[in-house]
Amino acid sequence: MPTLFEIPLKTIAGQPTTLEPFKGHVLLIVNTASKCGLTPQYEGLEKLYETYKHCGFDVLGFPSNDFAGQEPGSSEEIQNFCTTSFNITFPLFEKVVVTGPEKAPLYQELTAAQPVAKVADPEFKNKLRGYGLTVHEAPELTWNFEKFLVNRRGEVVARFAPDTLPTDPALVQAIERELPPLDGGANTNA
């Protein structure tokens, strides 16, 4: 079985790649969508990336059209939207399937490693259902903008539900635990 870093992927430009270029970095892997009520999270994700990228941290966006058709665009349209609407500079990848029997190998590994997400609002799933939306149960992703935190060794150490904002203290603290302190001191988790 390949490691997380060996799974074949494609960049948003359609170029074959893997996560190998990010080996040794702390990663926040997020399934994204351009037409979702949570789409404004792009702004916070970019801010996280800008704040911590100098410490070896990357946000990796994986567009998905799995939830209510909220990412219908082509790769070019997605890239253009992210650049012009949110000034996204973190890496984006080609659209993938993140739920069900056709789930991309990367998401098979992520959900197997962390089958349950930490939720910010215990009523989030009920709110989605209130809009008449189909909500998947664990280990499947709940919705767009679910976040997986991967440490420098490639281990999936946390999973956050879509309603966890990029500014949520629990998410920020989890990221900081995996990074060297900003003052340059030692971190036993690195």
Instruction: Write out the catalytic residue numbers.
Output: 36
Do residues 120 and 164 lie in contact, with contact meaning Cβ atoms separated by under 8 Å?
Answer: yes
**Could you tell me which of 41, 47, 4, 12 has the C-alpha nearest to residue 161?**
41
Do residues 82 and 42 lie in contact, with contact meaning Cβ atoms separated by under 8 Å?
Answer: yes
Residue 92, classed as helix, strand or coil, is strand
Extract the runs of DSSP E, i.e. beta strands, from the chain.
Answer: 9-10, 16-17, 26-32, 57-63, 147-150, 156-160
- Which residue reads 């900081």 in tokens? 176
